[in-house]
Structure 1
Amino acid sequence: MRIVYPVAGALMAVGLVGCAPPTHAGSPVTGGGVGPVAIASPAEENPAIDIPPLPSLDDDAARAEATRLAAAMQRDIPHFMTLPPDRAADWIRLARDQLARGDAIVDRAQVLMVVDRNPRVQTVCFILALPGDGAWQVLGGTRVSTGQAGRKFYYLTPTGVFVNSPDRLGYRALGTRNEHGIRGIGAKGMRVWDLGWQWTEKGWLPSRERAQIRLEIHATDPDFLESRLGRPASEGCVRIPAALNVFMDRHGLLDALYEQAASYDGRFRALLPRGRTPTPIAGDTLVVIDSAS
């Protein structure tokens, strides 16, 4: 089912079907046997936007797609790990707990990106979340880096539930190097997912005073820093391997809402890669947990 929303300034199309056009003070009236004068409706001046619905699969189809994605991840992402049942159950429990604390509701089959900021873990795990009582499924994961404690101006990556919303437009790395020759967000063209301003702790202060950071998911320098993934090292963002960055970008793992936005906004069409093959279980949510808490 598609829902039609008009652009700003237009009347709502929903609920007006079959209704007579509204009359306004000063509108032309009929007289002398002449029919009513046609008045251009705002909806004609501002065409409605037809937003496609989010993809929706039943549980069995979603599990089959998750199994296909997991196999592709093992093939395309070096060091991608599958998990034994006991560890998979732990990840699912921690993700569910964090979603509950954030009052987040899973209303369709979708992939969650779950990151454990525990300094001893530093791993991302992708989980198929299902609505209702359906059993969730772990696809697997790989090494990442989150915020480092004890280094000035480095923040702890905040725990919580963060949505890749079209209220913000992500971007791509330019591949420029800093004064130390480091490409901080990866090689040119790497995707940066912008999750907005978030409150977190200043990792260099014993008091853990709080401040806001711009939380992002991005790659890191492929020559000097990617090999160090798996330990806290970032200024607060989530650093991921380049191969995972490309995979997430091509398959739209966090881009369900961006795909909708691309249907009416050229900025999102320009950002999303050509030739992409978005999965029907694409999601929009990063869940950051701390298994040490």
Structure 2
Amino acid sequence: MQQAGTNKTPFGARKTGVAALAVLFLMTAQASAQQAGRATAPASAPASTPASAPARVAQGRVAIPPAPPLPHAASAPQTVSAPARALPAMPVPMPPQAVSDASAASRASEAAEASAASAAEAASAASAASEAAVPEAPLPPEPPEPNIAQRTGLAPQGAYAMRQAFAREVDRRLDVPAADQQAYGRALQRALDENGHGNLANEFVVLVDRAENVQAVFVYFRAKPGDAWSMTGASPVSTGRPGSYDHFLTPLGVFQHVPGNMDFRAEGTLNEFKIRGYGARDMRIYDFGWVDGERGWGKGGVSPMRFQMHATDPEKLEPVLGMRHSKGCVRIPSTLNAFFDHHGILDAQYEARAAEGQSIWVLKPDRQTTPWAGHYLVVIDTARKTRPAWSPGPGKAARQQVPAAAIHVD
């Protein structure tokens, strides 16, 4: 402690002050030495000192002396003077690089190769589509499966009663005189005789007269061989119109309706010509497979064609049924299509397959198939020179409403 009335500094205090000055001097000297060393030493090479140099306590931390130089092949350790590096786990943005001419040429070559490959694939697909379009060989006739009435000997009264159902359900009907009904019955029998089906009976048969002045479809039935055929009903149709490319005359003959040429149903969508070629949605397309058809263009001749019977556009083309207008198929009224479908008029073979357990998706679950279901569509040509009054053609107003593009529709 200080004594009052004196200005002298105690000896202990003087000793402490001298020590503090010495420490300050040493710190200043060391800082100057470090700055001088950094100014003279290369940035990439640490200064060398003996390995035995002791560590010094300076400014409250341990100063590690520089490490000795390493052999030439060794890697230099990282020191505080080394440049900072990005951590491996962090993304390091790469500066944009200019694309060299060689790289651009390489990429152009790759693009050309890819384009060539795409062209090759397209050509291959086109070739495959062309091969797929090649007509199949016509299916051989199937042994006709007997319908329910043929198996059980069911009395035919219900078959004759289908006349009332036809009149009730089909809106486009023809009032055929009795004499013409009988004449067409005889024509049907001749066609069946010529094709080995002369004893056909106890089932419905669909008959089409493709004559330009008739254009009609008939449904016939008889109970026993030798009986006269009895007409159930008749409607107007459109068959193949010659004179344009890809238009066939509707083929003549007896055509068996079998699941091997599976039917399908219309989607009801508009085609590129804004026409529903197969009619409204859910209309059934009766498919009779590939047959030989007479070409209606060029020098004529015979070519394979896919023969079908189907509905047509209900607004644009159904009004002109009664004149030749199709590309070879038989177009029928939509209500007649529904009548055939619901009652299974031509579904004897389809129903037999379904009874065996096969999945026949085109058959509706709510159908009421007649026990007298048939197998055959028959097409004839009476070549009538004049138009009968009972089969009038479409009027002028209906013809004028037909789009020009309708010529391209089946």
Q: TM-score range with shorter-chain normalisation?
A: 0.7 to 0.9
Match of 1:290 among 363, 378, 381: 381
**1:226 CA displacement:** 0.5
**1:90 CA displacement:** 1.0
Match of 1:95 among 171, 182, 188: 188
Greater percentage in helix? 2
- Judge conservation of contact 2:189–2:198 (CA < 8 Å) in 1: no
**1:287 CA displacement:** 0.2
* Secondary structure of residue in 2 paired with 1:271: coil
Q: Deviations over 1:175-223 (max 9, x none)?
A: 1211111010111110011101110111123x32100111011100011
Q: Does 1:184 align with 2:260?
A: no
**1:130 CA displacement:** 3.9
**1:256 CA displacement:** 0.7
Distance 1:79 1:246 in 2: 12
Q: Does 1:61 align with 2:155?
A: yes
Q: Quote the residue 2:243 is aligned against.
A: 150
Q: Quote the residue 1:222 is aligned against.
A: 314
Distance 2:227 2:183 in 1: 17
- Judge conservation of contact 2:147–2:373 (CA < 8 Å) in 1: no
* Secondary structure of residue in 1 paired with 2:204: strand
Q: TM-score, normalised by structure 2?
A: 0.56
Number of corresponding residues: 239
Runs of at least 4 residues of structure 1 off by over 6 A?
Answer: none
Q: Does 1:240 align with 2:329?
A: no
Greater percentage in strand? 1
**1:143 CA displacement:** 0.4
- Judge conservation of contact 2:265–2:282 (CA < 8 Å) in 1: yes
**1:275 CA displacement:** 1.1
Residue type at the aligned position of 2:371: P
Root-mean-square deviation (Å): 1.9
Q: Deviations over 1:26-65 (max 9, x none)?
A: xxxxxxxxxxxxxxxxxxxxxxxxxx95212699932x22
**1:167 CA displacement:** 1.9
What 5-or-longer segments of structure 2 have no aligned partner? Answer: 1-144, 385-410
**1:131 CA displacement:** 3.6
Structure 2 counterparts to residues 29-48 of structure 1, below 5 A? none
Distance 2:258 2:302 in 1: 24
Change (3 A) 1:257 1:106: farther
- Judge conservation of contact 1:82–1:139 (CA < 8 Å) in 2: no
Q: Quote the residue 1:46 is aligned against.
A: none
Residue type at the aligned position of 1:279: T
Q: TM-score, normalised by structure 1?
A: 0.77
Q: Deviations over 1:149-188 (max 9, x none)?
A: 1111110100000010122211101112111110101111
**1:133 CA displacement:** 1.7
* Secondary structure of residue in 2 paired with 1:188: coil
Q: Does 1:279 align with 2:373?
A: no
Q: Quote the residue 2:354 is aligned against.
A: 262
Q: Deviations over 1:102-150 (max 9, x none)?
A: 1224444011100000010000011103442223211120001110111
Q: Deviations over 1:60-108 (max 9, x none)?
A: 932x223321111111111323422210111111111111121224444
Q: Quote the residue 2:225 is aligned against.
A: 132
Residue type at the aligned position of 2:310: H
Structure 2 counterparts to residues 163-182 of structure 1, below 5 A? 163-182=256-275
- Judge conservation of contact 2:202–2:224 (CA < 8 Å) in 1: yes
Residue type at the aligned position of 2:186: R
Distance 2:358 2:313 in 1: 30
Structure 2 counterparts to residues 102-121 of structure 1, below 5 A? 102-121=195-214
Structure 2 counterparts to residues 12-27 of structure 1, below 5 A? none
- Judge conservation of contact 2:185–2:228 (CA < 8 Å) in 1: no
